[in-house]
Structure 1
Amino acid sequence: MPRGSKAKYTDKQKRKAEHIEQRYENKGVSRDEAEARAWATVNKQSGGGEKAGGSGQSTSTSEKKTARSDSAKRAAKTREGHARSSTASLDSQTKQSLMKEARSKDIRGRSTMTKAELIKALHAHH
């Protein structure tokens, strides 16, 4: 039998492991191997037993991903509103940064432009 107490697992996780174990045994896998595989599957799917503390509500991976995406969109929106008007502020940027800005403004021919040409094109695009 695999090591470790199953006391921290929810009833749902225990039922799931039992069901998975039964299916492996029906395929001819040994009892011990079937149990080990079943618990490994439950752990992979749900991240193991109950987590200590907290309100019992955890943020799902997809919710975190959505929150990150929303945050990134808000940040991009904020940056959009900050148009650079002076050539001096463009001068202080790296060519890579200017290239990124030219890409976002869809300036044609940017890949072959020098830094000075990028500055000129960005200035003319405002």
Structure 2
Amino acid sequence: MPKWSAKDKRQYEHIQDSELKSGSSEDEAAEIAARTVNKQRRKEGRTPNKTTQGTGNPNTPLSDRTVNELRNMASELKIDGRSKMNKAELVKAIRQKS
């Protein structure tokens, strides 16, 4: 479990209890509570959203970067339609634009 504050722990327990009372299983209740607390922590900027940050190592070839990294690069280059592009299309568009 991540390093949560006392407030985070209380929120987790409250959500978990609420989910259990509404009929969720223990595993489901724990997962919902953890996701909710982590979402709130991300929203408040207390934890990074690692899946959408950065453009990768600049020394790495474009074809070796993740789709998220390529989309972030495409965003910086203001390439239209990037959200619907696959990896190959993103690489091609970035090469054309830069």
Provide TM-score, normalisation by structure 1: 0.33
Q: TM-score, normalised by structure 2?
A: 0.42
Give the number of the structure whose alpha-carbon radius of gyration is greater. 1
